């Protein structure tokens, strides 16, 4: 009886924790086993692809999240491999599309 009364007083408080802090993140490259936990380490890159009709992406709006096609991370080695396959382009200026 005492245990039951003690449990009634317990209050559950949800806490938001980033998934990367719990399970970590894995490089999205097939057969790559690189992983990290916590903040994005140097050399790692987020790769985001979206199908919004504009070049501007605001991830704070639910509409933008509905158009995300890809949201992954690549380790430094795979970033280098991917860049070797891409045409060199100038970095975009803020607010402009390539």
Residue 14 has pLDDT above 60, yes or no: yes
- Structure confidence by residue, pLDDT tens digits, 47-92: 988 887 777 777 787 777 788 888 899 999 999 999 999 898 887 7
**Which pTM was predicted?**
0.63
- For residue 74, the Cα-to-chain-centroid distance in whole angstroms is 10
pLDDT, the chain, mean: 80
**Confidence (pLDDT) at 5:** 57
Would you call 64 helix, strand, or coil by DSSP? Answer: helix
The terminus-to-terminus CA distance of the chain in angstroms comes to 69
Considering the chain, what percentage of its residues have pLDDT values greater than 70? Answer: 73
């Amino acid at each position: 009886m005492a245990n039951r009364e003690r449990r009634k007083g317990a209050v559950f408080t949800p806490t938001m924790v980033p998934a990367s802090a719990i399970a970590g993140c894995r490089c999205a490259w097939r057969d790559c086993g690189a992983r990290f936990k916590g903040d994005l380490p140097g050399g790692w890159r987020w790769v985001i692809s979206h199908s919004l009709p504009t070049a501007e992406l605001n991830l704070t709006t639910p509409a933008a999240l509905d158009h995300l096609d890809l949201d992954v991370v690549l380790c430094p080695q795979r970033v280098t491999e991917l860049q070797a396959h891409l045409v060199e382009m100038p970095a975009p200026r803020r607010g402009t599309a390539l």
